[in-house]
């Protein structure tokens, strides 16, 4: 977490450091990122940086917390279009609404996603707690779907969770990799073609899990 000296900075100076860090991780990822560039692009001294943060992991975690807080505020006033959505409908809504959120904070989302997903750090020990939270939420969702009769009860919950976790991260990775090629990522993200691609990805995931007559039932 940032030190009190950073939190006590004037908002304009604090924002300059944040913007420089976001651009650095979005453009270079984590391993290739440079504190020297963050310092140069934010107009502070290197000594000042270490008065604000322990290291570049510290500043990256601060950006993650910023993103989480922004997302919480964004979702607070968002509601599914229907109270009768099944589990897959709700998951679909969550993914699409998450995309809408991403379009409002494209550089911050790009920075975090590039490090966690494109570089794979989401699956390492440094961010194990974040990944476990997502796994636990998906497990609860799948168990409820089985209870509701939407997923075949013979489906292994851990396997189903792995599929949904991998699929949602694959969608995010696709958005980041393709989005970085665009001049206007927000316009691209909201385009009918991009939305259709995401729909197709979700369709494949859903109908690989949705209940069938006896596909997963062992025959005795």
The more confident residue out of 44 and 190 is 44
- pLDDT number for residue 54: 96
Candidate from 37-41, 42-46, 152-156 with smallest mean pLDDT: 152-156
- pLDDT number for residue 214: 46
pTM (two decimals):
0.77
Backbone angles phi, psi at 92, to 5 degrees: -60, -45
**What pLDDT digit, counting tens, does each position of 16-36 carry?**
999 999 999 999 999 999 999
**What pLDDT digit, counting tens, does each position of 118-155 carry?**
888 888 888 888 889 889 999 998 898 888 888 888 88
CATH superfamily, with its number, for domain 1-59 = Homeodomain-like (1.10.10.60)
Question: Whole-angstrom Cα distance, residue 95 to residue 211?
Answer: 21
Return the structure tokens found at 215.
């596909």
On the question of pLDDT at 110 being above 70, the answer is: yes
On the question of pLDDT at 210 being above 90, the answer is: no
What are the angstrom distances between the C-alpha of 33 and each of 25, 30, 68, 207? Answer: 6, 5, 22, 40
- pLDDT number for residue 187: 81
On the question of pLDDT at 215 being above 50, the answer is: no
Q: Give the pLDDT mean for 50-64.
A: 96
The torsion defined by the Cα of 136, 139, 144 and 147, in degrees rounded to 10, comes to: -140
Specify the residue for token string 């969550």: 94
Candidate from 70-74, 87-91, 142-146 with smallest mean pLDDT: 87-91
On the question of pLDDT at 191 being above 70, the answer is: yes
Q: Considering only CA atoms, give the Rg of the chain.
A: 20
CATH code for the domain defined by 78-209: 1.10.357.10
CATH 1.10.357.10-classified regions of the chain:
78-209
């Amino acid at each position: 977490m940032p030190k009190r000296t950073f939190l006590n900075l004037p908002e304009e100076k604090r924002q300059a450091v944040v913007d420089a860090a976001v651009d650095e991780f979005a453009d270079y990822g984590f391993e290739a990122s440079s504190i020297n560039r963050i310092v140069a692009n934010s107009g502070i001294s290197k000594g000042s940086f270490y008065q604000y943060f322990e290291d570049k992991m510290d500043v990256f975690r601060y950006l993650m917390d910023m993103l989480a807080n922004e997302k919480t505020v964004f979702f607070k006033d968002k509601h599914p279009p229907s109270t009768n959505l099944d589990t897959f409908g709700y998951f679909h809504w969550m993914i699409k609404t998450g995309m809408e959120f991403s379009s409002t904070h494209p550089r911050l989302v790009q920075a975090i996603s590039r490090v966690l997903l494109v570089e794979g750090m989401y699956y390492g020990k440094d961010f194990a707690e974040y990944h476990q939270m997502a796994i636990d939420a998906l497990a609860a969702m799948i168990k409820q779907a089985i209870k509701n009769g939407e997923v075949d009860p013979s489906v292994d919950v851990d396997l189903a969770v792995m599929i949904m976790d991998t699929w949602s991260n694959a969608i995010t990775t696709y958005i980041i990799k393709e989005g970085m090629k665009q001049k206007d990522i927000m316009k691209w993200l909201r385009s009918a073609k991009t939305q259709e691609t995401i729909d197709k990805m979700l369709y494949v995931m859903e109908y690989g899990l949705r209940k069938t007559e006896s596909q997963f039932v062992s025959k005795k």
